[in-house]
Amino acid sequence: MIPDLHDHPDPPDAPEAGGGRPPSSGAGRGARALRILAGALLFLPARLPPRLLRACGGLAGDLFYLASSRRRRIAVVNVERAQAAGYLPADLAPRRVARLSFAAVARTVLEAMVLHQRGLAPFRGGWRLEGRQNALDALALARARGGGLVFLTAHMGPWELAPHVMRAEFGVTMAVVGRGQGRGILDRLMVESRTGTGNTFIYKDRGAREMLAALRGGGCLGTLVDQAAVVEREGAELEFMGRPARTNLGPFKLAARTGAPLLPLFGRREGGTAVFEIHPCLTPPEAPEPSWPREAAQKVNDLLGEAVRRRPGEWMWGHRRWKTPEGIRGDPDFF
């Protein structure tokens, strides 16, 4: 539920059960061995001081950039095409932007490891909100409407911290919507890192009813908006960074159906500080036109594109954001 923000207690540290498909824990000795190995691999990053953690993230990103020719190619070509569309300055070096992007993603992965092992405690005092009043206004509006709120973010900066920071700052319990990783141990680790401060989890591939119920019950959802929606019924072709991009309309249709405001926020790093820029909420009208989800999604694409333009090295360029069914058939390795 959305709390009364005038006076709320500190959120508990104990996790709550995640929603959606329960994570598979595997079976037998093999699963237990993987669990022990994963715990050992997670232990060291969680004990590193913040400055060393950032340095290790940069090194890991450089190694992945050099080792993954496919992802490197996707990132470099995506930057080049954004430049060709006039969205990024022509004097940017695509390979440098791609390399910075790999480092940013690696830092986020390490932050997720810390969240899994130690929760939000190591990060306290290390974040800043811009547009805090926008969040307060959106939460007040959602409460006045008697419904929920949808937080929208992207693979930019310290995105894994976002739901935990929102919970710490505003006392909301967020149902984080995400895709399964296809493996029991990875699913479990992902869910645990995203729910360790008291949030819950809903699997995107089979959680539509739970999302709808959460919003109608006055809850909060958190979801990423920069993943390509290739399946026709899931999205629409909108503009993103000067190019057509398949965009997921799911969160926007949920908002139109329930009246829930949409709150876009995007992260970036400034030295050792995680900064979250919170934009004014997008509010569906009482009787939204069928075109409203597309229009709202385009506004969010524009906001994200502008954030990427200002800090291109913070976004995940190695993601196949502009893939299409036709592109997959023509060049499956890239699209």
* Structural domain contains residue 246: yes
CA–CA gap between residue 38 and residue 50 (Å, rounded): 21
* Structural domain contains residue 4: no
The percent of residues above 90 in pLDDT, for the chain, comes to 69
Q: What is the pTM of this model?
A: 0.86
Query: What is the model's pLDDT at position 333?
Result: 56
The token pair at 64 is 């992945």
75 alpha carbon, distance to own chain's centre: 18
Containing domain of residue 102, as a range? Answer: 34-330
Task: Inform me whether the pLDDT recorded for 135 exceeds 60.
Answer: yes
Query: What is the model's pLDDT at position 174?
Result: 94
* Structural domain contains residue 271: yes
Task: Inform me whether the pLDDT recorded for 186 exceeds 90.
Answer: no
DSSP-based three-state secondary structure for 23: coil
Q: What are phi and psi of 271, to 5 degrees?
A: 65, -125
The token pair at 45 is 């990053």
Measured at the CA of 313, the angle between CA 264 and CA 52, to 5 degrees, comes to 100
How many structural domains does the chain have? 1
CA–CA gap between residue 31 and residue 25 (Å, rounded): 7
If you ran DSSP here, which 8-state letter would residue 312 be given?
Answer: G
Q: Which is nearest to 62 in space by CA: 119, 16, 100, 13? A: 100
Task: Inform me whether the pLDDT recorded for 207 exceeds 90.
Answer: no
The percent of residues above 70 in pLDDT, for the chain, comes to 82
Task: Inform me whether the pLDDT recorded for 173 exceeds 80.
Answer: yes
Q: Please, which residues have CB within 8 angstroms of residue 291's CB and are 6 or more apart in sequence?
A: none
Query: What is the model's pLDDT at position 44?
Result: 76
Give the chain's mean pLDDT.
86
Query: What is the model's pLDDT at position 8?
Result: 43
In terms of Cβ atoms closer than 10 Å to its own Cβ (0-12, 13-18, 19+), residue 13 is exposed
* Structural domain contains residue 85: yes
250 alpha carbon, distance to own chain's centre: 15
The token pair at 54 is 């950032």
11-20, 41-50, 146-155, 172-181: which range is least confident on average?
11-20
Query: What is the model's pLDDT at position 6?
Result: 42
DSSP-based three-state secondary structure for 155: coil
In terms of Cβ atoms closer than 10 Å to its own Cβ (0-12, 13-18, 19+), residue 328 is middle
Q: Please, which residues have CB within 8 angstroms of residue 83's CB and are 6 or more apart in sequence?
A: 89, 90, 92, 94
Indicate left, alpha or beta for 157 from its phi (over 0: left) and psi (-120 to 50: alpha).
left
Query: What is the model's pLDDT at position 307?
Result: 98
Amino acid making up residue 24: S
Query: What is the model's pLDDT at position 324?
Result: 75
* Structural domain contains residue 106: yes
* Structural domain contains residue 72: yes
Query: What is the model's pLDDT at position 10?
Result: 45
CA–CA gap between residue 111 and residue 60 (Å, rounded): 13
Query: What is the model's pLDDT at position 285?
Result: 95
Contact 153, 265 (CB under 8 A): yes
Task: Inform me whether the pLDDT recorded for 15 exceeds 50.
Answer: no
pLDDT digits (tens, 9 = 90+) for 220-274: 999 999 999 877 667 899 999 999 999 999 999 999 999 999 999 999 999 999 9
Query: What is the model's pLDDT at position 230?
Result: 74
Q: Please, which residues have CB within 8 angstroms of residue 240's CB and are 6 or more apart in sequence?
A: 226, 247, 301, 304, 305, 321, 322
Task: Inform me whether the pLDDT recorded for 103 exceeds 60.
Answer: yes
* Structural domain contains residue 315: yes
Considering only the C-alpha atoms of the chain, give the largest distance between any 2 of them, rounded to a whole number of Å.
Answer: 56
* Radius of gyration of the chain, Cα coordinates, nearest whole angstrom: 19
- 202, 207, 211, 217: CA torsion to nearest 10: -90
At how many degrees (to 10) do helices 184-195 and 28-46 cross?
A: 40
For residues 203 and 233, the model is more confident at 203
* Structural domain contains residue 29: no
CA–CA gap between residue 227 and residue 249 (Å, rounded): 11
CA–CA gap between residue 115 and residue 144 (Å, rounded): 33
Overall average pLDDT of the 124-153 stretch: 96
Where does the pLDDT of residue 23 fall: very low under 50, low under 70, confident under 90, or very high at 90 and above?
very low
Contact 195, 116 (CB under 8 A): no
